[in-house]
Structures are given as C-alpha cells and as structure tokens.
C-alpha cells in the first residue's frame, strides 16, 4: 500500500512498492496522458514532475514517490484553459503522431518554471526526450514562443 499525491489529490494504491510510478499513474490512478515508450528511462514519453523536476516515471519505483508532489499532464489544464506551454504546442503545431508530446510538454513545463528564458543549449540540455517524428525544431520554436 502506498499513498501518493498526484496533481494535488491523494490516492491510496495497493501495489508492490517496486512497481514503476508510470504504471501506478496509468493503471491504478487511471491518468493515461503519461505514456510508455522505452521503459528504461531513455525516451522521456513517461515524463512527469516530481517535486517540480522532470523525471522518467518508468524508472522510479512508486516507493520513492510516497510523500512527494507528483504532477502529470492532466494537471496543466485549469478551468478549461490550456497552460501556456500547451497553447504554444497548439499554435506552433508541434505534434505529428503526438505520442511522445505529453512528455515533451512536461519536460518543458519544468524547464520554464526554473528558467523562463532558456537558450537553445539550455533547451537541448533540459528537454532530452526523443521524438520519432523529429519534431525537435517545432519543440524549440514553441518553447521560445512561450519564453518571449
């Protein structure tokens, strides 16, 4: 049994404490915006915020998330309004297939909270997610649009 704080709500989940946080978010809590890609901490599709920092949720045992503030893509829309990052993603038409984009948006959200005007080098260092459609230029353009 573990008690989690996800998007400001408390959840009690009955899982093995070694279970990756990704699967608890998706299958126990039912928030499916966080995606499974590689499962080994490389691609970033599973990115969520952990105490405000972007982490790969496929590689974090749920035991490490107990008592921590977890934020998923579902937390960004408030009162029917997309976040600034989400709006920029729409305006710049970033997604192609879209599968990896919630991870991209969460990595960007963490970056811009810590650094509201990142350089290209800082974007590349912070948003290390992989997109098989190759949307990296559009991701950068959207981040710069938000940070103007």
Report the residue number, 46 or 49, with the smaller CB distance to ligand FES.
46
Of 11-19, 40-48, 79-87, 139-147, which part binds ligand FES (CB under 6 A)? 40-48
Report the residue number, 86 or 129, with the smaller CB distance to ligand FES.
129
By beta carbon distance, the residue nearest ligand FES is: 58
Q: How far apart are CA 21 and CA 84, in angstroms?
A: 26
- DSSP for 54-115? EEEGGGSBGGGGTTSEEE-GGGT-BTTB--HHHHHHHHTT--SS-TTHHHHHHHHHHHHHH-
Q: Is 141 in the site for ligand FES (CB under 6 A)?
A: no
128 by Cβ neighbours in 10 Å (0-12 / 13-18 / 19+) ranks as: middle
Q: How far is the CB of 57 from ligand FES (least distance, A)?
A: 7
Q: Is 41 in the site for ligand FES (CB under 6 A)?
A: yes
Q: Is 48 in the site for ligand FES (CB under 6 A)?
A: no
Q: Which residue has the tokens 């573990």?
A: 2
Q: How far is the CB of 80 from ligand FES (least distance, A)?
A: 29
Q: Is 54 in the site for ligand FES (CB under 6 A)?
A: no
Q: How far apart are CA 133 and CA 148, in angstroms?
A: 26
Q: How far is the CB of 148 from ligand FES (least distance, A)?
A: 30
């Amino acid at each position: 049994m573990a008690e989690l704080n996800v998007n400001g709500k408390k959840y009690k989940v009955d899982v093995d404490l070694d279970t990756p946080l990704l699967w608890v978010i998706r299958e126990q809590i039912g928030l499916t915006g966080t995606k499974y890609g590689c499962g080994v901490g490389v691609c970033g599709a599973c990115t969520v915020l952990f105490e405000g920092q972007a982490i790969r949720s496929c590689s974090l045992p749920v035991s490490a998330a107990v008592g921590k503030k977890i934020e998923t893509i579902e937390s960004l829309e408030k009162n029917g309004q997309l976040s600034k990052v989400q709006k920029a993603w729409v305006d710049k038409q970033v997604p192609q297939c879209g599968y990896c984009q919630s991870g991209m948006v969460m990595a960007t959200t963490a970056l811009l909270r810590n650094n509201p005007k990142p350089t290209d080098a800082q974007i590349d260092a912070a948003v290390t997610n992989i997109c098989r459609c190759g949307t990296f230029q559009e991701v950068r353009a959207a981040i710069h649009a938000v940070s103007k």
